[in-house]
Amino acid sequence: MTAKDKVKEGEIWAIGGGKGGTGKTFITSSAGTYLAKKGRQVVLVDMDIGGANLHTFFGISRPQKSLTSFFEMGASLSDLIVPTEMANMSLITGDIHSMASDKITFTQKLKLFRQIMKLHAQTVLIDLGAGSHNSTLDTFLIADKMVVVLVPEVIAIENMYHFIKNSLFRKVKLTLKEYGFKEIVQHIWDRRQSYGIANLKELIDYLKESFSYIGTILDHELSSFRIYIVLNMVRSNQDVELGASIKSVMMKYLGIPIHYSGYVEYSDAVWKSVRERKPFMLNYLATGCAKQIETLTENLIKNTDVERRGAV
């Protein structure tokens, strides 16, 4: 499924990033709350299959409805929307039974994506689980804004690279499949040594150079592949700067456009609000974190970057 199939109501933002525990759910719920307070109609979808907990951020302990009904009983997605105490904000809670994401069939997946796109909302925020499973990648790829959340640690950075590389590889494969070049990408990749290809960027360059038709397709289809980075739990200016470095490396390495949309500092207030099961943005409005959430959400809306103040 690509951008041109979309006949949809609003904009979809997917929040992923590979590693668990980086604060994807916190960022999703907080950015969503900010958007709803601004007056946008927001639906949050918890796609962290098997590890769903977005509802707890809104004080809901046992959701009446969840994605389970969609997968097991064929319920329609729009019937699973649960209101929250906030105006403009509703929720589709995740699958709280531990369902394995590889049990989802291809047909179910397509049906789910179609229904997500038809949700009545100005912004649909999808909270993805950890990992780089194909279902997760495919959900990431239907989004208009592909957001990755990470923390300033080497493992999180590594997992994020892995996640973005897998997403890009998947995107290239799916795109070429759609144009009738189903096997070619995997075929060349499996024999990359004999082609002298060392990494994904070189594979893409090779495809573009060797087949001008494919080059045209990829240039066109990959122009929408744009990643938005959010750095969570930063503790120093040096940490903040890491976002700019990651952006630089990804652009120079993969040649894809990247935005460094924002950062959120490490704070006990966040930890407390998660414990209290209350929306952070309603209860801790005066904190630096809340301001940083506002800034990063505005940056996401406008495709702008963290403002850098001449630090070297």
Partner 1 sequence: MAKDDLKKLYDVLELPTNATLRDIHNSYMRLKKLYSGESIVLEPLGEEFSDKKKKKVLEQIEEAYAKILASRNSEAARTEPLFTEGPPEERVPEDVDPASVVFSGACLKKAREARNVTLNEISKELKLRIELLNNIEAERFETLPEAIYLKAQLRTYAALLGLPQGKVAEDYLARYQAWKDNRTPSKE
List interacting residues with partner 1 (CB under 8 A). Answer: 152-154, 157-158, 161, 198-199, 241-242, 244-249, 251-253, 308, 310-312
In single-letter form, the type of residue at position 291 comes to K
Nearer to partner 1 (CB atom), residue 39 or residue 255: 255
Nearer to partner 1 (CB atom), residue 53 or residue 304: 304
Residues 161/163/169/173 CA torsion (nearest 10 deg):
-170
Nearer to partner 1 (CB atom), residue 116 or residue 246: 246
Please list, in sequence order, all residues whose beta carbon lies within 8 angstroms of the beta carbon of residue 125, skipping any fewer than 6 positions away.
Answer: 13, 14, 15, 28, 31, 32, 35, 42, 43, 44, 45
CA distance 135 to 80: 20
Strand order in the sheet with 89-92: 82-83, 89-92, 42-47, 123-128, 11-16, 145-150, 227-234, 258-265
Q: How far is the CB of 158 from partner 1 (least distance, A)?
A: 4
Q: Is 180 exposed, middle or buried (0-12, 13-18, 19+ CB in 10 A)?
A: exposed
Q: How far is the CB of 310 from partner 1 (least distance, A)?
A: 5
Q: How far is the CB of 193 from partner 1 (least distance, A)?
A: 13
Q: Residue 283: left if φ>0, alpha if ψ -120 to 50, beta else—which one? A: alpha
The helix or strand, by DSSP H or E, that contains position 181, with its residue range, turns out to be: none
CA angle 49, 51, 53 (to 5 degrees): 110
Nearer to partner 1 (CB atom), residue 255 or residue 288: 255
Q: How many residues does the chain have?
A: 312
Nearer to partner 1 (CB atom), residue 73 or residue 312: 312
CA distance 233 to 240: 10
Q: How far is the CB of 252 from partner 1 (least distance, A)?
A: 6
Alpha carbon 93 to its chain's center = 17
Q: How far is the CB of 211 from partner 1 (least distance, A)?
A: 24
Nearer to partner 1 (CB atom), residue 9 or residue 153: 153
Two tokens at 10? 């609003």
Nearer to partner 1 (CB atom), residue 34 or residue 260: 260
CA distance 281 to 42: 15
Q: How far is the CB of 152 from partner 1 (least distance, A)?
A: 8
Nearer to partner 1 (CB atom), residue 94 or residue 152: 152
Q: How far is the CB of 201 from partner 1 (least distance, A)?
A: 9
Q: How far is the CB of 165 from partner 1 (least distance, A)?
A: 9
